Amino acid sequence: KKKKGGPPKPTSPPAAATAVTPEFLLANVPSDGASDPCTLKACMASVLFSISLSNGGACADELPFVRGPALLYGPPAGDSSGGGSGPVLAFGGNGILKALALLAERARCNDHGNVESAPVMSAAMDDWLEFERCRLRPAVAAASSGDSKALESALKVVE
């Protein structure tokens, strides 16, 4: 037997979704933020990927173990509902840089459909960030204390 009618027909088209502009907050900026490498990375990534960062204050309650900057997802721009900051997305210079790169990649894909150019966040970028954090940064710190061998060794990897 055949059923009569078929699937129900919509009575009206769905309401159009309104675009929400998220606000990203940079929290836990140290007092020496202008010279803090993690804060500088976050700020440079913000400029590079055209993602605005607002002051997020401190987020010690959300992440008590984080001592440096953290990227928070805040209320939409112009939202006056208050309620404090949103969830923590990333922390540390490299983590924030990666998060902003992925947000830029998503925005680029949403704006242009399938993008054929190289992705903003690549495996090579991730490798360089890890090299900087694990090899280069400690070598520079050792060199500033008078031990230049570690820096020479790290830079030979780049050659």
Does residue 27 contact residue 72 with C-beta atoms inside 8 Å? yes
Quick check: pTM over 0.75? no
Q: Given CA atoms 120, 122, 128, 134 in this order, what sign does their dihedral have?
A: positive
Residue 150: pLDDT above 60?
Answer: yes
Q: Which amino acid is at 76?
A: P
| Averaged pLDDT, 31-41 | 83
Residue 83: pLDDT above 60?
Answer: no
Residue 77: pLDDT above 50?
Answer: no
Per-residue pLDDT at 71: 92
Residue of 85 and 136 predicted with greater confidence: 136
